[in-house]
Amino acid sequence: MSGHITSITDGEARSDSRLSHPVPSSTSHFLDTKIATLQHETVQIIHLKEDLGESLDCAKISPEQYNQEIYPILKRFRKTSQMLQVLARQRSLIEEDFEEAVESMRQRTLGLLDDNIFETVYEDTIVPCVIRAAAKVGKSRSDKRSFKKAVRQWYNVTNESLALVFGMEGLTEPYSICHVIGAPVDYLCSEQAYLVPKSLSPNEVSYIFGIAEDVISSDPQNALLLNYRIKRLFDEGFIAIVPSTTRPTAWRCVVLDNSKNDNYVWGNSKVKDLDNRELLFISDERPRPRYLYFRFIVSYLRAKRLNRIDLSIEVKKYWPLRGKWLNRSTLKTFAKCVTGYDLPDEFITDYTFEDTRSEARNHEAGMILAADILDQLNHPVREKDRYSY
């Protein structure tokens, strides 16, 4: 098993054309051949992923081995699938750029065979362009500020509203709020905490929610305002936001991992003081339940993979709301890839919908989302990049 995985991982430093057939003479035929090669590769990777899962199920490998070996498989699948997506969406533009680059190289390298020119142009020009188009581009600082402003507007967080609720008269500097602490905080100490992580591939996020286009990343209901220390706990899965069991519009914070219980997060408040604490909103607006449920699933998968706790026996305790929010098949693939184990039915039955249009696409989206989540687990955000204003 490891030998196969190593060959795929090493292949990332080599050409994507290592499985290619003899090169046709026209641009269109050449790209058709490359697409067929990439499609064949995705099938191979899926088989490899399935073999690895079966080895874990049969106890031929340990969970630790599975966690180590699944990540490079999923990364390779994501790269190949996203290249196919871009080639399909931008085929005409890519052909045009390809033909221009080929003609330019012909003029510079008289006597070089077209087969070699096509391969060189593909590797040096087309592949980098496709990778850039498929890559997740981080929001600029200006975008982050705009989104934070939109989130503050959604929850009606202004100096005037804060002064009215908390009796803070004469504010001259901008203030914000921490929904978990339930108190005003300095604007620069408040972060917009994404519920559906913004680092996830937008096409796949839209797909698992059954939405035709990417509107989630810019939806102010996909965020809460949190003190930066509490945001870190939230992002790393130590705490979660779940529905209140007493009031339908109320939300509460729960501590999922007690290892940081005695850490201070705000004044004299410790992590353990956040458990079962009701969130404070100063308007009638709330985050979308489906986004918070997805984040709850992500927190569970992190805890499962890191052997922290098993929440499956208490799902109904944590999440009394019901809704057909997530694509069932995609969610199951996503969870299986992240942890190596099937997601318990308690997480699925009352919270998912069936989409039978394309089972292959269901699985593809789940594998790519799993690669995105494992990026976070294997490469934590650097401290200097953690906060945005």
For the stretch 92-131, pLDDT in tens is: 888 888 888 888 888 777 666 667 788 888 888 777 877 7
pLDDT of 12 over the 50 cut: no
Closest alpha carbon to 208 in 83, 45, 373, 43: 373
Closest CA to 200 of 12, 371, 384: 371
* pLDDT of 61 strictly over 90: yes
Cα dist from 68 to 23, 117, 339, whole Å: 36, 39, 11
Cβ proximity of 63 and 56 under 8 Å: yes
Please give the residue that has the higher pLDDT: either 93 or 314.
Answer: 93
* pLDDT for residue 111: 61
CA atoms within 13 A on the CB side of 328: 15
The pLDDT score that the predictor gives to residue 40 is: 96
Q: How large is the C-alpha radius of gyration of the chain?
A: 24
- pLDDT above 60: residue 346: yes
Question: Which pLDDT value is given to residue 182?
Answer: 94
Phi, psi dihedral angles at 311 (to 5 degrees): -90, -5
pLDDT of residue 2: 46
- Separation CA 44–CA 146 (nearest Å): 43
| Residue-wise pLDDT tens digits, 142-180 | 588 899 999 999 999 999 999 999 988 777 788 999 999
- In order of 32, 210, 377, the CA distances from 363 in angstroms are 24, 14, 21
**Is pLDDT above 50 for 7?**
no
Between 212 and 361, whose confidence is greater?
Answer: 361
For 72, residues 6+ apart whose C-beta sits below 8 A from its C-beta are: 5, 8, 9
Element (H, E) at 381: none
Instruction: Name the pLDDT band for 24 (thresholds 50, 70, 90).
Output: very low
Model confidence at 23, pLDDT cuts 50, 70, 90, reads very low
pTM of the model: 0.84
What are the E-state strand segments in the chain?
175-178, 183-186, 190-194, 223-227, 239-243, 251-255, 264-266, 269-270, 277-278, 326-327, 352-353
Please tell me the predicted confidence (pLDDT) of residue 15.
Answer: 41
Residue 344 near residue 315 (C-beta atoms within 8 A)? yes
Q: What's the pLDDT tens digit per position in 239-283? A: 999 998 888 789 999 998 888 999 999 889 999 999 999 999 999
* pLDDT at position 167: 86
Predicted local distance difference test score (pLDDT) of residue 321: 87
Tokens describing residue 166 = 């908390």
pLDDT in tens, 179-191: 999 999 999 999 9
CA 278 to chain CA centroid, Å, is 27
Mean pLDDT over the full length of the chain: 84
The letter for the amino acid at 101 is: A
Domain ranges of the chain: 2-134, 141-385
- Minimum mean pLDDT among 22-31, 101-110, 325-334: which range? 22-31
Task: Encode 139-149: b = buried (16+ Cβ within 10 Å), e = exposed.
Answer: eeeeebeebbe
pLDDT at 206: 93
What pLDDT, on the 0 to 100 scale, is given for residue 147? 92
Q: What whole-number distance in Å separates Cα of residue 16 and Cα of residue 13?
A: 9
Say if residue 36's pLDDT is above 50.
yes
Q: At what angle do helices 289-305 and 202-209 cross, to 10 degrees?
A: 110
